[in-house]
Amino acid sequence: MDSLALFLATALLAFVLYWFVCILGSAEQKGKRAINLSSGSISREKVQDKYKQYWSFFLRPKEIETADKVPHFVDTFYNLVTDIYEWGWGQSFHFAPSVPGKSHKDATRIHEEMAVDLLKVGPGHRILDVGCGVGGPMRAIAARSRSNVVGITINQYQVDRARAHNRKSGVDSLCEVVCGNFLQMPFPDSSFDGAYSIEATCHAPKLEDVYSEIYRVLRPGALYVSYEWVTTDRYKADDPEHVEIIQGIERGDALPGLRSYDQVAEIAQKVGFEVVEERDLAKPPAGEWWQRLKMGKIAYWRNHVVVSFLTLLGVAPKGVVDVHEMLFKTAGHLTRGGETGIFTPMHMILCRKPMS
């Protein structure tokens, strides 16, 4: 009986591990399973070193404020986190207001579709996704508008993932993905009928640099909408708790520095845009965008056990556990930012490039 009990216990443990590692989280929804976690284009043996290098940027803050240093800084970050984001969050690397009676997936799609509805584009139009990630918003926006969407991301691994997802989703005829720096985009002047960025331009050291590039590639009369990460009017720079929260968000999300909400329109106008509309999409009656982070704590510990086990077995690279822990801590800072109201990831600004 003892042998049988041991066999059954071992079989049960093996089944549980198989379920968590290989089954948990449909690849159709999350894009990745735990067994396939990697760190982008970083070789397995260098993941831990790259993680340490990422944190070293914050010991030299002047370097991450310099435009020529930022692309490498952000590229390293997304090599480290892309697979974990897909596994634990999904293919849309952004937040969305919760919608009563709607799943997170549906709320995310509604949030993305709102952006393209504001652009007033349709079939035959060519629009730009600035900082497209693995293309979750791109696919929703292409399906909604039937426009041709061109996405740009600094990370080649994300380009490859986005192209694979586009093919699988059947929208690859409408979607194109380019690897490049959105501060120096490889597109001709006046070559797009609209543009959007969803929680992406926060990676720019100077917002005017990316806004200037977007302005350049838009045709006259075209619209641009952005969901910006900013501090709100509740943020107090002399409050130590507020400073700790914002610095935690910056360090855990590869941000050279968060901007204040009242700087966005001023910068847009400075580069030549007309501001059509500006508002915080996170304000009531919008549902609390950070609730999913709070509800995800149990999932984090479950996932952390899986990642730790895979690392111990040598399936996942060394350093993945550290990255996963970093993202959990960052989720705590983001939650506190939402609860205190000092931070929003969805300050919306709608701009138009003048006709002349």
Region 37-64: mean pLDDT is 80
Res 4: pLDDT: 65
Backbone angles phi, psi at 343, to 5 degrees: -140, 140
Q: Which tens digits make up the pLDDT trace of 162-216?
A: 999 999 999 999 999 999 999 999 999 999 999 999 999 999 999 999 999 999 9
Omega before 285 within 30 of 0, i.e. cis: yes
Ranges 136-140, 157-161, 246-250, 297-301: which has the least confidence: 297-301
Res 27: pLDDT: 38
DSSP string, 94-145: S-----TT--HHHHHHHHHHHHHHHHT--TT-EEEEET-TTSHHHHHHHHHH
Pair of tokens at residue 109: 């799609």
Residue 344's closest CA among 248, 256, 258?
Answer: 258
Complete domains list, the chain, with CATH: 43-356 (3.40.50.150)
Res 230: pLDDT: 98
∠ Cα 32 24 35 (to 5°): 50
Which is more confident, 154 or 294? 154
Say what angle helices 70-88 and 156-169 make with each other, to 10 degrees: 40
Res 26: pLDDT: 41
Q: Is the pLDDT of residue 246 over 70?
A: yes
Residue 247: count of CB within 10 angstroms of its CB: 15
Classify the C-alpha dihedral 167-170-174-175 as positive or negative: negative
Distances (CA, A) of 307 to 53, 312, 313, 317: 21, 9, 10, 10
Res 15: pLDDT: 46
- Average pLDDT of the chain is 88
Q: pTM score, two decimals? A: 0.89
Tokens 């838009």 map to which residue? 218
Which is more confident, 94 or 73? 94
Q: Which tens digits make up the pLDDT trace of 311-327?
A: 887 878 888 888 989 99
